[in-house]
Structure 1
Amino acid sequence: MSELASKQCIPCTIGTPPLNGKELEDFHQQLDPLWKVIDEHHIEREFYFKNFRQALNFTNQIGALAEEEGHHPDIYLSWGKVKLVVYTHKIDGLSESDFVFAAKVDAMNILS
């Protein structure tokens, strides 16, 4: 488990500046390289499965993790595919908690 995955998601307050530049890149490098940073606003990753049932099961696991962490990604489910889009809605950008959540997803050891 990565150092990030061992942390807890901590809620941001309104006015907290989103991550950018080197700090954002440092966090990104701690994740699986399949995570992409999009416009320094959010991170996303697609996961592929053999069928709809496996994709749905994964979606439910992500939902349980999101409730446990109090940090909720945007989840897009389709046949054999799940796309996660993660950012902190309250600050409309990226926070450390977004990378913590992504690292926890990586630690689930889901094949994609």
Structure 2
Amino acid sequence: MPSDLRPGSCRACEGGVALLAEAEIRAALAELSQWSLQDQGLERRFHFRNFYETMAFVNALAWIAHREDHHPDLQVSYNTCLVRFSTHAVGGVTENDVICVRAVEQLLT
């Protein structure tokens, strides 16, 4: 796994991708402050000043998800967005989830 935050590129998966070991997930989380492992997924709550900024973030995130063909679960409200990446086909965290989390982090830098 790369030690920088460059996202890489997702591999197509319909269940043929290995889950990351807990040590691999913890190593990735050490580089990604504010993300946590929750219920077999990588999760972070983002806070914004208003609905416009929240929706701009959601739209940018949707573009990343479409480009990578790897889609998060989102919970959107006026000034927050809870983002959760998990590879549904295998029931946990894969390299694809880490790649997408890194891409989301780049939105904010």
What is the CA–CA distance in structure 1 between the aligned matches of 2:85 and 2:66, rounded to whole Å? 14
- Displacement after TM superposition at 1:76 (Å): 1.0
TM-score by length of 2: 0.87
Write out the 4+ residue segments of structure 1 that deviate beyond 4 Å after TM superposition: none
- Displacement after TM superposition at 1:4 (Å): 4.6
8 Å CA contact 2:7–2:100 kept in 1: the answer is no
TM-score by length of 1: 0.85
What is the CA–CA distance in structure 2 between the aligned matches of 1:47 and 1:81, rounded to whole Å? 5
- Displacement after TM superposition at 1:30 (Å): 2.5
Q: Runs of 5+ in structure 1 lacking a partner?
A: none
Q: CA 1:6/1:43 → structure 2, altered by over 3 Å: closer, same or farther?
A: closer
Note the 1:59-98 alignment, pairs <5 A: 59-98=58-97
Percent sequence identity over matched residues? 29
* RMSD (Å), alpha carbons: 1.7
Q: Runs of 5+ in structure 2 lacking a partner?
A: none
Structure 2 residue aligned with 1:27: 28
Residue 9 of structure 1 pairs with residue 21 of structure 2:
no
- Displacement after TM superposition at 1:94 (Å): 0.3
